[in-house]
Structure formats: structure tokens, C-alpha cells
């Protein structure tokens, strides 16, 4: 089982621009980062390269059977669901659409189990519908930390609003400050781990 920190980000309409805003200039995070973006399969690789160009962390398409590594960003391929096996191994599969979409944020987030070590952070960004709400509820239930984008900076407020309505969101933030919040949360996590050692 992967013992590091995991950040899982769900996003839809307005997602590419929002993700670039968050990752541009963001120092490397003490975590493995998974991005579930509602994106067609034909444009996923192009966007991964685009985000890689502005990110201080390597951004690649998630590959079936690979394992999480701290400091890496994994974009879920279009038209594929992702679930995590043992909080560490990436499993890709087609499956039915969930919440009318594939990949589904809920599928990825609800596959996480309570970590023995490390920290889990779930983030829901701009998008239409309610994908990610059940995932946020699940992450909170296993002791994780949750973030939703605010209405003012969301292109479409549907997904963040649905997440907020679960009562399981810890922080509501503009996209411009989400990166710094992640960095702060994960730095504190690193300090706690060092103290425990």
C-alpha cells in the first residue's frame, strides 16, 4: 500500500484553464496527485502535455497497473474510469457512465480506503452536475480533508455546489488559492510524519 499523501482532483467544464491556474508556479507537492477531468479520449494526451508544460511536477496519463509515486501528477484518460487498489495501484476500466460521465470523479474518490499513513485530500472544481459529491462525502468519512472551488471563480458552479451541499467540505476557496492551500496542508502533514519518526 502507498503510504504517502494522495490528492485527488475532480473537474469538468472550465477545467483545463482552472487546472493551469492551480498548477502554474505551484511548488512540487508532497503527494501523488490524481486528476479526474471530464475530457474526450482524443484530447487527454494533448492536455496532459499542456499541463506538464506549466507544472513543476511531471504530468502524465495514468496507466493501468502502475503505482502512485509522490511528486507525480496522473491525469485519468478520457472515456476510462479509474479506481485505486490499496490506495496505490491504478486500475483503469471502461464500465458504465456514472453521473452521465466517464471518467467519474465519484468512482475514483470512493475507491480510496482509510490510510494507515499519509493524508488524503479531495478537491472538487468547476463543472456541471453532481459528480464528485459522493466522493467528497466518502473522503471526509475516512478522515480526509476536502476542498471545493468557490462560486465566483467557477465557470459552472454545479459540482462544487453539490459537494458543498453534502456538508462534508472543509474549505471553499477561489481557484487561485487552492494550490497554496494544498501546499500548506501537505507541508503540515510532512512535519507530523517527521515528528512521528
Mean pLDDT of 71-81: 96
Average pLDDT value for the chain: 93
pLDDT at position 189 is 56
> In order of start, what are the domains of the chain with their CATH numbers?
6-191 (3.40.50.180)
- Per-residue pLDDT of 133-192, as tens digits, reads 999 999 999 999 999 999 999 999 999 999 999 999 999 999 999 999 999 999 865 544
d(CA 130, CA 106): 9
139/168 Cα distance (integer angstroms): 9
Task: Decide: pTM greater than 0.85.
Answer: yes
Identify the pLDDT of residue 116.
Answer: 84
Percent of the chain predicted with pLDDT > 70:
95
Report the catalytic residues. Answer: 12, 38, 131
Amino acid at each position: 500500500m502507498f503510504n504517502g499523501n494522495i490528492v485527488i482532483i475532480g473537474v469538468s467544464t472550465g477545467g483545463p484553464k482552472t487546472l493551469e491556474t492551480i498548477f502554474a508556479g505551484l511548488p512540487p507537492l508532497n503527494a501523488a496527485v490524481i486528476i479526474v477531468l471530464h475530457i474526450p479520449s482524443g484530447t487527454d494526451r494533448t492536455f496532459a502535455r499542456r499541463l506538464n508544460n506549466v507544472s513543476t511536477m511531471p504530468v502524465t496519463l495514468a496507466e493501468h497497473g502502475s503505482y502512485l509515486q509522490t511528486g507525480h501528477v496522473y491525469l485519468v484518460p478520457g472515456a476510462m474510469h479509474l479506481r485505486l487498489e490499496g490506495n496505490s495501484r491504478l486500475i483503469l476500466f471502461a464500465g458504465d457512465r456514472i453521473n452521465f460521465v466517464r471518467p467519474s470523479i465519484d468512482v475514483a474518490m470512493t475507491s480510496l480506503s482509510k490510510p494507515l499513513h499519509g493524508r488524503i485530500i479531495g478537491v472538487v472544481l468547476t463543472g456541471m452536475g453532481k459528480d464528485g459529491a459522493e466522493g467528497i462525502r466518502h473522503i471526509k468519512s475516512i478522515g480526509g480533508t476536502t476542498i471545493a472551488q468557490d462560486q465566483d471563480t467557477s465557470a459552472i458552479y454545479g459540482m462544487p455546489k453539490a459537494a458543498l451541499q453534502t456538508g462534508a467540505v472543509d474549505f471553499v476557496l477561489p481557484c487561485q488559492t487552492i494550490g497554496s492551500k494544498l501546499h500548506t496542508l501537505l507541508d503540515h502533514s510532512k512535519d507530523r510524519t517527521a515528528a512521528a519518526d
